[in-house]
Amino acid sequence: MNVISIREMTKEDMEKILQNAAEIASGKRKPDLRGKILATLFFEPSTRTKLSFQSAAQRCGMNVLDFLTEQSSLKKGETFTDTIKTISGYADVLAIRHPKEGSVRFASDVTNKPVVNGGDGGNQHPTQTLIDLFTIKQLKKKIDGLNVYLVGDLKHARTMRSLLYALCMFGAKVTVVAPKGLEMERSYVEEIEAKFNTKVAKTNEMDIKDADVLYICRIQSERFEDPLEAKRVTEKFRLTKESLIGSKEELAILHPLPKINEIDAEIDRMPQAKYFEQAHNGIPVRMAVLEYVLKR
Ligand code: NCD
């Protein structure tokens, strides 16, 4: 069983993973995956996804192989395909991150081992979405009917693309807020609206008064063609204490992290800021994901 795109997961499977993650988080049970090996292959920088996958695996009794691109035979010119085929013989599950959209699916075509997508370019980041859903459920006890605002570089952020799909599937009322020029691809949003018979509100203004959840991400500067343009938007785009005036008292602010410039440091100290809690939820959720892909 692979986890490549949130669009291929059933609601039932997602609910099962979230339920298992809740039991793991509460200490009720722990997946027993002793004797299994996780290989992490990250062709793009990562702090949370890679380390929480490794930590989750170890907490399930697994061992971990960390493929380091800079010290590998990729440097001698070996191909991605040969790399995946080789490591497939050394591990039982592969967690892969790659800058190119579609490359993790490609990897899953050349191995018979389960593959988990740790982010492919600006396309998908399904396990982050499971963490986001888990966090929202823990904080709000539901997803259905919540007003969720997705704010930031929606053109390039894979976290947002995956999350929008899942939120609509779970019945949230979503508003997408992007700086001009960084809106999410229209055809993608329309496909989701049609599939789940819903309407996603779209704006360029930060008016979040009725938000129950505000989910913000950084400007994805590495995916811009023009670095100066990325710098210009990054400097302008910022959530401040003032932007929260008039917002709901029990608003939850989430962020997949890393945050650069887009959240005022003061907000970190406010009770609404839940993003470090969210990052820590990566452990039970990824433990449940490893169990899901290995036990089926
Ligand atoms: C995100 C990613 O890599 O897409 N980080 C993460 O996995 N928590 C978000 C980002 O880099 O902006």
CA dihedral 7, 95, 262, 145 (to 10 degrees): 30
Residue 117 beta carbon below 6 angstroms from any ligand 1 atom? no
Identify the CATH number of the domain in which residue 234 sits: 3.40.50.1370
Residues designated catalytic: 48-49, 76, 97, 125
Same domain, 132 and 250: yes
Render pLDDT for 205-228 as a digit per residue (tens, 0 to 9).
989 999 999 999 999 999 999 999
Q: Ligand 1 pocket, 159 CB below 6 A?
A: yes
pLDDT recorded at residue 226: 92
Q: Is 217 in the pocket of ligand 1 (CB under 6 A)?
A: yes
Domain that holds residue 262: 126-279
pLDDT tens-digit map of 57-71: 999 999 999 999 999
**Cα–Cα distance measured from residue 180 to residue 128, given in angstroms and rounded to the nearest whole number:** 25
158 and 290 co-located in one domain:
no
Residue for token pair 């979503």? 174
With a CB cutoff of 8 Å and minimum separation 6, the contacts of 208 are 149, 151, 177, 214, 243, 244, 247, 251
The answer on 130 and 96 residing in a single domain is no
Does ligand 1 have an atom closer than 6 angstroms to the CB of 256?
Answer: yes
Residues 171 and 240 in one domain: yes
CA of 46 to the centre of ligand 1 (A): 8
pLDDT 10s digits, 139-183:
999 999 999 999 999 999 999 999 999 999 999 999 999 999 999
Q: Assess whether 271 and 138 both reside in one domain.
A: yes
Q: How far is the CA of 14 from the centre of ligand 1 (A)?
A: 20
Residue 248 pLDDT exceeds 90: yes
Using 50, 70 and 90 to split pLDDT, how confident is the model at 3?
very high
Looking at the structure, tell me whether residues 71 and 179 fall in a common domain. no
> pLDDT tens, 9-62?
999 999 999 999 999 999 999 999 999 999 999 999 999 999 999 999 999 999
Q: How many domains does the chain have?
A: 2
Please check whether residues 23 and 84 belong to one and the same domain.
yes
142 and 207 belong to one structural domain: yes
Q: Is residue 1 part of a domain?
A: no
Residue 236 has pLDDT above 90, yes or no: no
97 CA closest ligand 1 atom index: 3
Are 188 and 207 members of one domain? yes
CB 155 less than 6 A from any atom of ligand 1? no
Instruction: Give yes or no for residue 296 having a pLDDT over 90.
Output: no
Q: Is the pTM of this model over 0.95?
A: yes
Same domain, 130 and 273: yes
Mutate to test the pocket of ligand 1, among 46, 123, 125, 222 (most ligand atoms within 8 A of CB): 125
Residues 289, 198 share a domain:
no
Q: What is the pLDDT of residue 235?
A: 84
The DSSP string of 195-258 is HHT---EEESS---TT-SEEEE----GGG-S-HHHHHHHHHH--B-TGGGTTS-TT-EEE--S-
251: Cβ–Cβ under 8 A, 6 or more apart, which residues? 208, 211, 212, 213, 214, 244, 272
